[in-house]
């Protein structure tokens, strides 16, 4: 039966995907049980588990020359010191510690940061008279928030498989987060919720509470009440975990490749992957696991059908960029956070903005920058946010021109779409069930942050929940 299915697919692919094969010859054709697209957190983790623990053959297609997605360890060429310009810390969730130890990557639970924090309005360049919540206020607010989020933990993590249908969605999850925060008196937790994980949503005041909790779920809240843990890679090089995954997966990973054509049926899939070197590989597989953000533009090569287009067209997303900059005018041990108005913990900038110049604790005044933009903000636009904000701070006299030098880029990365979401009206109308109805449709399964939480290790756990469904019957 399987052999018959495979040959049908080969025949179908020859008919359905001829144009590429005729213009540029396909170099190789391979057959696998599962083809995975996207070797970031969810995809690389899934590749290991599907091949090693479920004994299924895989091909993993990754656009970059390395695995790891939002992990971006940059090594200073002058000193050899690594800096985390993407993911910094890993929530101890699900099988996270086991996955690190599987690859002999040591982790520990606390990291001391000895930097000052100051607040400025990057649109004016002026310091703001911002009073941060006291430790006691913050703890009390997080104790309340953790309890509230725990009520919904099982329906939201590791994924939304059991999320209530439209008429049963808890009212609180549909409230604007500003109203939710005031209703429960948790304002003192909000600056941390925004800064640590929900920043990609922009101004939290008007975001549905559901999406804020998807970014900052109960297990993360427990970290701030002393009942949860965050893990740090002991080598100070987060890329270590994915480099070891890469070594294990070997030739099953197609780096610097993207899918340019696909044929998907309920019996299996054929995809053509094309490398930046122009080489093409035609991969026949019984199942496809998509581990890139499910935006309509990302999925264009997969020839979405009407059902898929109808559902995915309802989503919007935020574009995330990050990098490192250096200027002697940026104080080496001070992080400057972009904050809007004084005294109001619920006031944050609207998309698009620079989150902060975060001190990297380097003697060389290195700062990390993270930018979040609407769908129209491209790489140049996001770099512009950093340069304009810097100029505003200098013009306002907020940054003293001690060194007289401008701002230089050390490193820049485009992290693509984050916080893929539907509007409140669609959420209320049952968007989550619609989205999840795509799981398994046309032999295609999905994993990644859009399906679970906007954090690294919960996407690993979500992959754990998809894999048994994905491999069933193989």
Ligand X SMILES: Cc1cc2nc3c(=O)[nH]c(=O)nc-3n(C[C@H](O)[C@H](O)[C@H](O)COP(=O)(O)OP(=O)(O)OC[C@H]3O[C@@H](n4cnc5c(N)ncnc54)[C@H](O)[C@@H]3O)c2cc1C
Q: Which residues bind ligand X (CB under 6 A)?
A: 37-43, 61-64, 69-70, 86-91, 258, 291-292, 298, 320, 322, 370, 415-416, 418, 448-449, 454-456, 459
Rounded to 5 degrees, what are φ and ψ at 321?
-135, 150
Q: DSSP 3-state helix, strand, coil percentages of the chain (rounded to 5)?
A: 40, 25, 35
User: Among 334, 3, 358, which Cα is nearest to 199's?
Assistant: 358
Region of 462 on the Ramachandran plot (φ > 0 left; ψ -120 to 50 alpha; else beta): alpha
Q: Indicate the residue among 56 and 368 with the shorter CB distance to ligand X.
A: 368
The residue with its CB nearest to ligand X is 40
The nearest distance, CB 4 to ligand X, in angstroms, is 30
For 149, other C-beta atoms within 10 Å of its C-beta total 22
What count of Cα atoms within 13 Å lies in the side-chain half-sphere of residue 350? 1
Q: How far apart are CA 411 and CA 83, in angstroms?
A: 11
The nearest distance, CB 217 to ligand X, in angstroms, is 11
Rounded to 5 degrees, what are φ and ψ at 411?
-165, 150
Q: Indicate the residue among 73 and 443 with the shorter CB distance to ligand X.
A: 73
The nearest distance, CB 274 to ligand X, in angstroms, is 10
The nearest distance, CB 155 to ligand X, in angstroms, is 19
270 strand-pairing partners: 263, 284
Q: Indicate the residue among 130 and 317 with the shorter CB distance to ligand X.
A: 317
Q: Indicate the residue among 43 and 208 with the shorter CB distance to ligand X.
A: 43
Q: How far apart are CA 309 and CA 294, in angstroms?
A: 11
The first and second tokens of residue 365, run together, are 């005044």
Q: Indicate the residue among 88 and 282 with the shorter CB distance to ligand X.
A: 88
The nearest distance, CB 292 to ligand X, in angstroms, is 4
The nearest distance, CB 460 to ligand X, in angstroms, is 9
Contact indicator for 321, 370 with CB cutoff of 8 Å: yes
Distance of CA 358 to the CA centre of its chain: 19
The nearest distance, CB 451 to ligand X, in angstroms, is 8
Q: Indicate the residue among 93 and 145 with the shorter CB distance to ligand X.
A: 93
CB neighbour class for 446 (10 Å; exposed up to 12, middle 13-18, buried from 19): buried
Q: Indicate the residue among 253 and 336 with the shorter CB distance to ligand X.
A: 253
For residue 262, give the 3-state DSSP assignment. strand
The nearest distance, CB 182 to ligand X, in angstroms, is 28
The nearest distance, CB 350 to ligand X, in angstroms, is 19
CB neighbour class for 94 (10 Å; exposed up to 12, middle 13-18, buried from 19): buried
Q: Indicate the residue among 302 and 431 with the shorter CB distance to ligand X.
A: 302
DSSP state for residue 130 in the 8-state scheme: -
The first and second tokens of residue 420, run together, are 């893929």
Strands 253-254 and 257-265 come out as unpaired
The nearest distance, CB 162 to ligand X, in angstroms, is 20
Q: Indicate the residue among 329 and 457 with the shorter CB distance to ligand X.
A: 457
HEC string of 147-161?
HHHHHHHHHHCCCCC
For residue 26, give the 3-state DSSP assignment. coil
The nearest distance, CB 315 to ligand X, in angstroms, is 14
DSSP 234-247: TTS-THHHHHHHHH
């Amino acid at each position: 039966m399987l052999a018959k299915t495979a040959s049908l697919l080969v025949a179908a692919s020859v008919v359905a995907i001829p144009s590429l094969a005729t213009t540029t010859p396909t170099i190789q054709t391979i057959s696998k049980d599962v083809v995975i697209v996207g070797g970031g957190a969810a995809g690389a983790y899934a590749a290991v588990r599907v091949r090693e623990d479920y004994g299924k053959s895989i091909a993993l297609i990754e656009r970059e020359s390395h695995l790891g997605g939002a992990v971006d360890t940059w090594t200073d060429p002058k000193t050899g010191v690594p800096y985390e310009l993407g993911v910094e810390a890993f929530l101890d969730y699900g099988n996270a510690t086991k996955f690190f130890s599987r690859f002999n990557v040591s982790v520990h639970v606390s990291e001391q940061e000895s930097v000052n924090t100051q607040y400025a309005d990057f649109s004016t360049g002026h310091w703001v008279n911002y009073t941060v919540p006291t430790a006691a206020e913050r703890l009390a607010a997080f104790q309340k928030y953790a309890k509230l989020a725990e009520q919904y933990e099982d329906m939201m993590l590791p994924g939304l498989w059991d999320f209530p249908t439209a008429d049963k969605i808890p009212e609180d999850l549909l409230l604007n987060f500003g109203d939710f925060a005031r209703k429960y008196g948790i304002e003192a937790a909000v600056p941390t919720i925004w800064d640590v994980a929900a920043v990609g949503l922009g101004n939290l005041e008007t975001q549905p509470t559901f999406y804020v909790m998807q970014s900052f779920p109960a297990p993360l809240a427990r970290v701030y009440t002393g009942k949860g843990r965050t893990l740090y890679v002991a080598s100070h090089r987060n890329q270590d975990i994915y480099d070891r995954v890469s070594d294990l997966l070997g030739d099953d990973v197609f780096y610097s490749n993207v899918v340019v054509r696909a044929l998907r049926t309920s019996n299996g899939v054929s995809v053509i992957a094309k490398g930046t070197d122009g080489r093409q590989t035609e991969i026949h597989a019984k199942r496809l696991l998509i581990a890139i953000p499910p935006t309509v533009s990302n999925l264009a090569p997969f020839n979405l059908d009407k059902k898929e287009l109808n559902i995915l067209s309802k989503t919007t997303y935020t574009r995330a960029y990050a990098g490192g900059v250096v200027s002697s005018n940026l104080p080496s041990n001070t992080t400057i956070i972009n904050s809007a108005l004084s005294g109001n913990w619920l006031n944050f900038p609207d998309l698009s903005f620079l989150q902060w110049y975060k001190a990297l604790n380097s003697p060389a005044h290195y700062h990390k920058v993270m930018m979040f933009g609407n769908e129209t903000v491209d790489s140049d636009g996001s770099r512009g946010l950093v340069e304009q904000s810097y100029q505003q701070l200098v013009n306002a006299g907020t940054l003293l021109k001690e060194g007289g030098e401008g701002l230089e880029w050390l490193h820049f990365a485009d992290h693509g779409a984050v916080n893929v979401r539907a509007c409140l009206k669609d959420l209320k109308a049952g968007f989550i069930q619609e989205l999840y109805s795509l799981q398994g449709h046309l032999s295609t399964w999905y994993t990644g942050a859009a399906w679970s939480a906007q954090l690294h290790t919960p996407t690993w756990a979500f992959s754990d929940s998809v894999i048994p469904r994905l491999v069933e019957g193989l």
